[in-house]
Amino acid sequence: KVFASSESINPHNDTMTAQHTSISICTILYVCFAAKDTLAFSTGGGSARAVNKAPIARRQEWQRGAEIELPDLEMLFDRISMASPLAKLVMEGNSVGGFAAIDDDTKNPEIKWKKMESNSKKTVHRIDKADKFQNVKTPLLRFRSTLKGPCIGERFSNMLMDLDERKKWDDQIANVEEMYPIDDLDAVNTILDNEDKYGTCSRVGVGYTQTKQGIISPREQLTIVGAQEFKNGATILWGTEMEEYHNHLLPEGKRHTRAKSHLFAATLAPTGPDEFDVEYLLQMDVGGGLPHFMTTPALADVVKKMFQHAKGYFEGGDGSDLDLYLKSRQQEEEYSEIEILSNMDEDLLDGEIDLSEVHSHHHAMKDIESLLFTP
């Protein structure tokens, strides 16, 4: 078990009081997005560090905060690869072909899939459903979409989790908040200890999501989510609901009906320089005793709406939000390089850098560049 100690966020702070807003019938599914949503957290909030479970005596040395128990990550990824053929290909290092490399005739005896929709001309070109998964009698839904644009997992998750971005397509969202981000990613990478199979964890933390009042009462979720990045440009976003004994991490205020995502995953795999496939898993119980035959179709409609928004976002174009983001990131990289060179100039003047070493590194870099640009 690994824990995170949030050193700068008090879970009982009045500023974290949840808004007393709610959800609409179709919005039940929006809650489900909490699972996916929390995968990509906004940049606000405090930070936390992940540490091995410490004796009680040592915990007294920690500043006020919260202990966050990570799930069994290997088991979680085994379940994801079982339900998502694209994730399985990514973890095996064979995802270049995307959906085209998947043999859907190969059945997994533990999952009985039923085809809900299939239309190659639609943004979401296939939807499958399993009535139960891992002995949980909550339907598991699987969505497939092929999007044009750069495969950037962080942008996909930001589109879901950033409140301002979310409001552009989800008029029922009340609050999306990163409550306990964990900065010490080495703990997660140490647990998985297999970069080729699991990639590198680029983000992990606990997020809270709440929806507005509508035909039904509000729903809320507390989910631990993360992002794994792979050398081939693929990303697997993952998430699962926190256990009831973590309820003390919820923000202060009136409690709402709890929706629970037993499993969430979104696998993004590049299939070309400007195209990528996405396979999206969601096993969501919206709570309140609502029957699945009512919530499943509504949930599918909301996920399709999200993908329609993603389609426009990633196709971008001059002046689009994605274009502005990419240009901003390029400028940041250029400024970073200038700062490094400036620091080197200062060190040269101070005599702290051997000029011969600089020339040696310069020639080495030129050699690397010639290799990079060799057809």
Report the chain (375 residues): mean pLDDT per 10 consecutive residues: 38 34 32 34 39 35 58 93 96 92 85 95 97 93 97 91 82 85 86 92 92 87 94 95 90 93 96 95 93 90 92 91 89 77 65 54 44 36
Integer angstrom CA distances of residue 329 from 159, 336, 347: 17, 11, 27
Structure confidence at residue 68 (pLDDT)? 77
Structure confidence at residue 7 (pLDDT)? 35
Structure confidence at residue 103 (pLDDT)? 87
What is the separation of C-alpha 292 from the centre of its chain, rounded to a whole number of angstroms? 25
Structure confidence at residue 54 (pLDDT)? 35
Integer angstrom CA distances of residue 237 from 58, 185, 260: 33, 15, 17
Q: Where are the alpha helices (DSSP H) in 153-291?
A: 153-161, 163-167, 186-192, 195-198
SS3 120: coil
Give the residue among 240, 283, 279, 269 at the shortest CA–CA distance from 129. Answer: 283
Q: Is 351 exposed, middle or buried (0-12, 13-18, 19+ CB in 10 A)?
A: exposed
The pTM of the full predicted model, rounded to 2 decimals, is 0.76
Structure confidence at residue 177 (pLDDT)? 85
SS3 274: coil
Structure confidence at residue 41 (pLDDT)? 31
